């Protein structure tokens, strides 16, 4: 059997989808590859210790986060159980959380499949290990703070496209719930500002995606550099033709050699060729790091492989001359209309060990204090069961994790889970968010090094509706938009 015949249809389609071998996508990818051209020669920043990475873990489909973070005291659990009926997890199955001093003082538990995250919240289970994870409750897309009556009476502007997948996914990633003519993501706008300032300009893109193209990292001048769990997207490969990407690379090189006749096109082809060479260099660096992480035993799952690649990419940031880096990772499959309990159990059981291993890897590499991972999703889901699943809703619970995070806290205001409460805008328990996406992003960016009110307004045009960045005191978390950062971490 030839090497070509060994390729499964699934493998080939998967590779093709990742590489996006349409002509437009090729050009887009090549342009992002161009940014890697000077990666080797780039001067490293003077302060080589000042490196920070934001990792966005995006749950496509809308995670039912009211079955992730659950009230555990008798009275509030009773509300939860009464509202969720057959979607309620048994109280005795839940994993209790032990909040630290700055939490909201309430009792919570998490989904039974999330043992690894329980330890990161509680501090190793013994309260002696570091607390690395906190939850932000009832967070969602907002243009400005809004009450239920203001929502119902349409007194204040609502985010566009509420309860719709693509609109809400877009808004989490852009922080522009009112939309924009030329839509860009908040990480892309940050890169527009910080790339030159922090990364010295002409180096590899600070925006890395392990989940294909996204709006999150698209700026005016910035595109994401798309990678796979095996490394950079390849249009060239030195050895053989046994891999689908190698076949595509050969085709691309052949096309360049044959078609680009005039000088301008030749120059472009040469530039492209250089980019391919640089890509190969990045791939070699990526591969060379493999030995360092083999002992971590990342789970052999899609998210496990992607988080291992994320860890490698973070470890590579110094060699790429990056002081600031954003990484986008995603896991789909959370749109649980038809059935919630078992499918969510399966997904969380896959996700949790991968996340816990990722954080363990950061700790063992000495990178924990320079990385924050945060979760995001289209929306939460209705509290009411539609039979055996739940439907699209709004505000939900997300987590932040990392060394700079003051772990062991449930932040924000956890809503009442009773139907028709002041938090419920109707149709089966759709919860009005009380913490905005802007607040989360603003605190992440304070840590990331964004400075100046004008820059914050550029990245987060609605932020002033929620928070004034001039109020932020690094030594006092209570002055921060959400309050998850440890004192003096930025």
Partner 1 sequence: MKERIVGACAALIILGSFVSRKGSERKTRDWVTQNDNHPIFSEKPSDPVLSDTMLAGYAGEKTSAAEDLEMMARFIDSVFILIKQRDTADYSTNEDLVLFLHGSNSHRLPFLAKDGPALNGKGQLVDRWNSPLIPHPISRKLLELRSAGPDKIPYTGDDLLWPDRE
Nearer to partner 1, 319 or 392 (CB): 392
Nearer to partner 1, 141 or 370 (CB): 141
Give the residues lining the site for partner 1 (CB under 8 A).
158, 160-167, 337-339, 386-389, 391-392, 427-428
Nearer to partner 1, 168 or 370 (CB): 168
Give yes or no for a contact between 306 and 356, defined as CB atoms under 8 angstroms apart. no
Q: Show Cβ contacts of residue 399 under 8 Å, excluding neighbours closer than 6 positions.
A: 117, 133, 134, 135, 136, 374, 375
Q: How far is the CB of 338 from partner 1 (least distance, A)?
A: 3
Q: Which of 432, 427, 400, 401 lies closest to 416, judged by CA?
A: 432
Q: How far is the CB of 339 from partner 1 (least distance, A)?
A: 7
Q: Which of 149, 160, 224, 161 lies closest to 187, judged by CA?
A: 224
- Looking at the chain, the number of H-run helices and the number of E-run strands are 15, 13
Nearer to partner 1, 340 or 368 (CB): 340
Q: How far is the CB of 33 from partner 1 (least distance, A)?
A: 31
Q: Please count the other Cβ atoms lying within 10 Å of the Cβ belonging to residue 349.
A: 17
Radius of gyration of the chain from its Cα atoms, rounded to whole angstroms? 23
Q: How far is the CB of 402 from partner 1 (least distance, A)?
A: 33
Phi, psi of 269 (to 5 degrees): -65, -40
Nearer to partner 1, 166 or 241 (CB): 166
Q: How far is the CB of 167 from partner 1 (least distance, A)?
A: 6
Q: How far is the CB of 164 from partner 1 (least distance, A)?
A: 4
Q: Which helix (H) or strand (E) holds 58?
A: strand 52-59
Nearer to partner 1, 34 or 430 (CB): 430
Nearer to partner 1, 169 or 211 (CB): 169
Signed CA dihedral, 256, 259, 265, 266: sign only? positive
Q: How far is the CB of 159 from partner 1 (least distance, A)?
A: 8
**% helix / strand / coil in the chain, to the nearest 5?**
40, 15, 45
Q: Which helix (H) or strand (E) holds 140?
A: strand 133-140
Q: Show Cβ contacts of residue 200 under 8 Å, excluding neighbours closer than 6 positions.
A: 42, 43, 45, 321
Nearer to partner 1, 427 or 453 (CB): 427
Half-sphere exposure of 424 (CA within 13 A, CB side): 15
Q: How far is the CB of 25 from partner 1 (least distance, A)?
A: 21
């Amino acid at each position: 059997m030839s090497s070509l015949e060994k390729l499964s249809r699934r493998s080939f389609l998967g590779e093709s989808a990742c590489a996006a071998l349409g002509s437009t996508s090729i050009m887009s990818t090549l342009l992002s590859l161009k940014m890697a051209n000077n990666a080797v020669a780039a001067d490293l920043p003077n302060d080589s210790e000042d490196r920070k990475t934001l990792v966005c873990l995006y749950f496509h489909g809308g995670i039912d986060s009211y079955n992730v973070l659950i009230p555990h005291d008798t009275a509030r659990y009773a509300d939860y159980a009464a509202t969720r009926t057959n979607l309620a997890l048994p109280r005795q199955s839940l994993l209790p959380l032990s909040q630290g001093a700055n939490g909201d003082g309430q009792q919570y538990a998490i989904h039974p499949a999330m043992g690894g995250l329980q330890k990161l919240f509680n501090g190793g289970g013994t309260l002696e290990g570091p607390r690395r994870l906190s939850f932000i409750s009832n967070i969602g897309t907002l243009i400005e703070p809004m009450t239920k009556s203001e929502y119902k009476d349409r007194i204040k502007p609502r985010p566009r496209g509420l309860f719709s997948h693509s609109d809400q996914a877009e808004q989490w990633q852009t922080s522009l719930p009112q939309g924009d003519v030329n839509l860009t993501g908040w990480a892309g706008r940050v890169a527009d500002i910080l790339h030159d300032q922090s990364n010295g300009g002409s180096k590899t893109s600070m925006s890395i995606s392990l989940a294909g193209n996204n709006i999150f990292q698209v700026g005016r001048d910035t595109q994401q550099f798309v990678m796979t769990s095996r490394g950079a997207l390849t249009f060239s490969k030195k050895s053989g033709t046994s891999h689908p990407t190698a076949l595509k690379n050969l085709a691309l090189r052949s096309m360049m050699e044959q078609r680009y006749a005039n000088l301008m096109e030749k120059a472009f082809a040469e530039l492209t060729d250089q980019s391919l060479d640089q890509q190969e260099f990045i791939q070699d660096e990526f591969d060379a790091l493999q030995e360092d992480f083999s002992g971590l035993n990342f789970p052999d799952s899609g998210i496990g492989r992607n988080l291992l690649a994320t860890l490698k990419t973070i470890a590579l940031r110094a060699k790429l001359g990056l002081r600031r880096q954003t990484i986008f990772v995603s896991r789909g499959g959370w749109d649980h209309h038809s059935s919630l309990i078992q499918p969510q159990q399966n997904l969380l059981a896959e996700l949790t060990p991968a996340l816990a291993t990722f954080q363990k890897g950061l700790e063992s590499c000495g990178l924990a204090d320079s990385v924050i991972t945060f979760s995001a999703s289209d929306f939460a889901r209705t509290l009411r069961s539609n039979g055996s699943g739940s439907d699209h809703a709004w505000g939900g619970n997300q987590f932040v994790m990392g060394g700079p995070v003051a772990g062991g806290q449930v932040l924000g205001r956890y809503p009442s889970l009773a139907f028709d409460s002041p938090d419920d805008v109707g149709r089966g328990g759709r919860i009005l968010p009380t913490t905005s996406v802007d607040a989360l992003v603003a605190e992440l960016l304070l840590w990331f090094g964004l400075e100046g009110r004008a820059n914050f307004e550029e990245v987060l045009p609605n932020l002033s509706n929620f928070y004034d960045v001039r109020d932020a005191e690094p030594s006092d978390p209570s002055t921060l938009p959400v309050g998850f950062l440890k004192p003096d971490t930025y």
